Amino acid sequence: MLKIEHLNAGYGDLQVLWDINLEIRSGEVVALIGSNGAGKSTLLWTLSGLLKPMSGSIIFAGQSIGGVSPDRIVSLGLTQVPQGRRLFAGLTVKENLLQGAYSRSDKADVAQDLDFVLELFPRLRERLNQPAGSLSGGEQQMCAVGRGFMARPKLLMLDEVSLGLAPIVVDAIYEAIGKVRARGMTVLIVEQDVQIALEQADRGYVLDVGSLIMSGAATDMLANPKIRAAYLGI
Amino acid sequence: MSGILIGQSAINVLLLSGVLTIAALGFSIVWGVMNIINLVHGAAIMLGAYVTFIAFTFAGIDPFLTIPISMVLLFGLGYLIQRNIINYVMRAPMLTTFLLTFGLEIIIINLAQFFFKSDLRAITTGYSGSSLTLYADPAANSSIEVPYIKLGALIVALLLTLLTHLLMSRTRLGRAIRSTGMDKDAAQLTGARISTIYALTFAISAGLAGAAGSLIAMTQSFQPGFGGTYTLYAFVIVVLGGLGSVPAVFLGALAFSLITVLTGLWQPGLTQAAAFALLVIMLVVRPSGIAGKAFYQ
Ligand SMILES: Nc1ncnc2c1ncn2[C@@H]1O[C@H](COP(=O)(O)OP(=O)(O)OP(=O)(O)O)[C@@H](O)[C@H]1O
Ligand SMILES: [Mg+2]
C-alpha cells in the first residue's frame, strides 16, 4: 500500500529525515515510534504533501506521491490526524467532521459515515452543534480522529493521538481505531508512548534522530530489551 | 431636534449602512480568511461603478439590472488577480501583500483614468428624483422622504448580505473557506486545494465590491479615484464591527453610518474626522470590535 525508499526530507535546507525505507502492507497496523524531535511528524507531513521530499521515492497505492499536492494525496486515500489535533476551533463539531469528508462526492455514504463516527464517539453526538474549540481535550481528540475517519482513507496516519490524555480516553480512542481497522482501513500509529503503540500494532519501526534504526514484529519489539531500556525505562 | 429630523436621520443611517455593508463585506472576508489588507478593494468598487455607468449610458440598461453584470465581471477579475499575482506572495509577510495590493490599486486607477477619463460621471434615471414620502407635516412644510433609488439599493444590499451570510455559513464552499482561514495546513489535510479556495475567496470579495460600485454609482457622482475612500471606510467598518463574521460587518457599517449622519447634522465638514476618531478609540478600547471575535458565518 505504501512504500518509501531512500527518502530524504526536511525544512528548506535543514534535513531532518535521512534515507528512510519503510513499507506498509494493506490491512496492517504499523507503529512508528521515536522520542521527541526524532522526525516522526516531519515524515507524516512529507507523506501528506505539505513538505516536498529532497530525494527518494514514495509510492502509495501504485502511484508516486512525492511532491504531489496535499489535496491530490487525500483523494488518493491517504489522510492523517495531525499532532495537536488542529481542529477548526470556530466550526461546530459537525462542521469539522463534514470538512473531513471534503474530498468525497458520495453524499449518502458521507451521511452514513457521520453516523458511524457518532456511534464510535457518543460524546461527540451530544456536542454536535458546539464549536470544536469549546470541547475538552479528550473530546477534541475524538473529533480530530473522527474527522480523519470521515475522509474514509485507505491509509490513516495518527500522529500522537494519546498525547496528554487520560488513560480512559486513550482506550476509547484506540477501541474506535480497532473498529475502523475491522472495516479494512490500514493504519499507521505514530506515538512516543511505545507501549500503547506496539500493543495495537502488527509491526513497528523505530525512528531515531531522523533515521530508522530498527523494525520488526510488534511482539518481538515489545520483548526487546534494548527497546524496553530506551523507551519504556524498564 | 424635531421629530421629523430624527426620523429622517434614522432613515438616512439605515440607507447608508446597507451600501456600506456591501462595500466592506468583501474587504472583511479577504482580511479574515487570507490575512491580507486588500488595498485593491476600492479599485474593484470603482470598476463596478463604471460597469454600471457604461451599461446604462451606452446600452440603456437599468442600473439595478447591471448589478449582476458588475458582480460577474469583478468576480472573474478577482479570481485572475489572486490566481496569477497575489498567489505568488501568499507566504510572504503581511507588509508584502499590503504593498502589492497598493501597487495594483494605483495601476488599475491609472488605467481607468486613461480609458474612462477623469471627468466626473453620474447616472440619472427616470426615477432618480422621486421618493417615497413616509410622513409629511404640511404646517411645518417638512417631511420624511425615502428616495426610491436608495430604497432599492438598501433592499439589494440587505439581500446580498443575507446571501453572503448563507454562502459562508451553510455551504460546502463556505465551510472550506472558513476552515482555510482558521488553519490552512489542517484544511489541506482534509483535501482542500488552498490556491483554489483563496482564488474563490478573493473573487467573491471582488464580486461584492462590484455590486457596491454599482449601488454607489446610482447615488453619487464619481471619477476613477473615488474608490480609495471606500477602502478607508471598509477598514473603519471592519475595525468597528470586528473581524470574522457577516453580521459583524453589518453592525460596523451601522455604527459608522450613525456617526457619519450625526456628525453631518452638526458639522458636515467633520464627518471623516469623527469616523476616524472612532476608529482610533475603538482600536484602543476594544480591538476585537463590537461583535467580538467570531469566524466567518
Ligand atoms: N517547521 C519547522 N521548521 C524547521 N524545523 C522544524 C520544523 N518543525 C520541526 N522541525 C525540526 O525537525 C525535527 C523533527 O521534528 P518533528 O516534529 O518531526 O519530530 P517528532 O518526532 O514529531 O517529535 P514529537 O514527538 O515531539 O512530536 C526537530 O529537530 C524539529 O526542531
Ligand atoms: Mg511529532
List of chain A residues whose C-beta atoms are within 8 Å of the C-beta of residue B295: 90-91
Residue B88, min C-alpha distance to chain A (Å): 16
Which residue in chain B has the smallest CA separation from A150? B190
Read off the pLDDT of residues B225-261 as tens digits, 9 standing for 90 and up. 999 999 999 999 999 988 889 999 999 999 999 999 9
CB contact, 8 Å: A79 with chain B?
yes
CA dist A93 and A87 (Å) reads: 9
pLDDT given at position B12: 93
| B24-28, B140-144, B156-160: the lowest-pLDDT one | B140-144
**Number of Cβ pairs closer than 8 Å across A and B?**
65
Task: Kindly state if the Cβ of A33 falls inside 6 Å of ligand 1.
Answer: no
B91 touching chain A per CB within 8 A: no
How close does chain A come to B296, measured CA to CA in Å?
9
Q: What is the pLDDT of residue B278?
A: 84
Tell me the mean pLDDT in the region A2-26: 97
> What's the average model confidence in pLDDT over A146-171?
95
CB contact under 8 A, B187 and A98: no
The closest residue, in CA terms, to atom 16 on ligand 1 is A39
What is the residue with the minimal CA distance to atom 26 of ligand 1? A36
**Rounded to an integer, what distance in angstroms lies between the CA atom of residue B105 and that of residue B278?**
26
Asked if B83 reaches chain A (Cβ–Cβ under 8 Å), the answer is no
- Residue B137: pLDDT band (50, 70, 90) is confident
- Residue B276: burial class (beta carbons within 10 Å; 0-12, 13-18, 19+): middle
What is the pLDDT at residue B44? 98
Please give the pLDDT value at position B38: 96
- What is the per-residue pLDDT for B110? 96
Give A99's contacts in chain B (Cβ within 8 Å).
175-176, 179, 187, 190, 192
3-class secondary structure, B91: coil
Residue A74 has pLDDT above 90, yes or no: yes
φ and ψ of B249, to 5 deg: -65, -40
Ligand 1: which atom is nearest the Cα of residue A38?
21
Q: Chain A closest CA to B123's CA: distance in Å?
A: 43
Contacts with B189 from chain A: Cβ below 8 Å: 48, 50, 70, 74, 79-80, 82, 86
pLDDT, position B294: 59
Chain A nearest CA to B179, separation (Å) = 6
If you average pLDDT over residues B169-177, what whole number do you get?
96
The closest CB to that of A95, out of B175, B186, B191, belongs to: B175
Q: Which pLDDT belongs to residue B287? A: 76
- Please state the rounded mean pLDDT for residues A207-213: 95
β pairing state of A203-208 and A211-217: antiparallel
Which ligand has the minimum distance to the alpha carbon of residue A192? 1
At residue A232, does pLDDT exceed 90? no
- Strand locations in chain B, DSSP E? 131-137, 142-147
User: What is the per-residue pLDDT across B49-106, written as a single tens digit (0 to 9) for each?
Assistant: 999 999 999 999 999 999 999 999 999 999 999 999 999 998 888 899 999 999 999 9
> With a CB-CB cutoff of 8 Å, which residues 104-163 of chain A face chain B?
147, 151
Cβ–Cβ < 8 Å for B276, B227: no
Ligand 1, atom 7, lies closest to the CA of A11
A89/B contact by beta carbon, under 8 A: yes
CB contact under 8 A, B175 and A87: no
Cα(B70)–Cα(B134) distance, integer angstroms:
32
DSSP state of A80: E
The H or E element containing residue A154 is none
Domain spans of chain B?
3-161+173-225
The pLDDT value given to residue B70: 98
Contact B104, B88 (CB under 8 A): no
A15 lines ligand 1 (CB under 6 A): no
Q: What domains can be seen in chain A, in order of their start residue?
A: 2-231 (3.40.50.300)
pLDDT at B276 over 90: no
Q: Which of residues 156-195 of B touch A (CB under 8 A)?
A: 172, 175-176, 178-179, 182-183, 185-193
- What's the whole-number average pLDDT of chain B? 93
Contact A147 B172 (CB under 8 A): no
The H or E element containing residue A193 is none
- Say which ligand is closest to the CA of A12: 1
Identify the bridge partners of residue B222 per DSSP, sorted by sequence position: B121
Q: Which residues of B164-198 are buried (b: 16+ CB within 10 A; e: fewer)?
A: bbeebeeeebbbbbbbbbbbbebbbbbbbbbebbb
Whether the Cβ atoms of residue B296 and residue B174 lie closer than 8 Å to each other = yes
Query: Considering only CA atoms, which residue is closest to atom 24 of ligand 1?
Result: A36
Residue identifier of the C-alpha nearest atom 14 of ligand 1: A39
Cell of B172: 460546502
The percentage of chain A sitting over the pLDDT mark of 90, rounded to a whole number, equals 88
Nearest to A70 among B178, B182, B189 (CB): B189
Can you give the pLDDT at residue B291? Answer: 66
Q: Is A204 at the interface with chain B, CB within 8 A?
A: no
Residue that is written with C-alpha cell 495531525 in the block: A82
pLDDT at A231: 77
Q: Is the pLDDT of residue A99 over 60?
A: yes
pLDDT band for position A234 (50/70/90)? Answer: low
| Alpha carbon of A39: minimum distance to chain B alpha carbons (Å) | 18
C-alpha cell at B58: 451606452
Answer whether A86 touches B (CB < 8 Å).
yes
Mark the residues whose beta carbon lies below 5 A from ion ligand 2: A 40-41, 83
- Which is nearest to A151 in space by CA: A198, A201, A82? A82
Span A49-69, pLDDT tens digits: 999 999 999 999 999 999 899
A48 touches chain B (CB under 8 A): yes
Instruction: In whole angstroms, give the CA distance from residue A212 to residue A227.
Output: 13
Give the Cα separation of B42 and B109 in Å (integer). 10
| pLDDT of res. B1 | 57
Number of residues written out for chain A: 234
Q: How far apart are CA B215 and CA B49, in angstroms?
A: 8
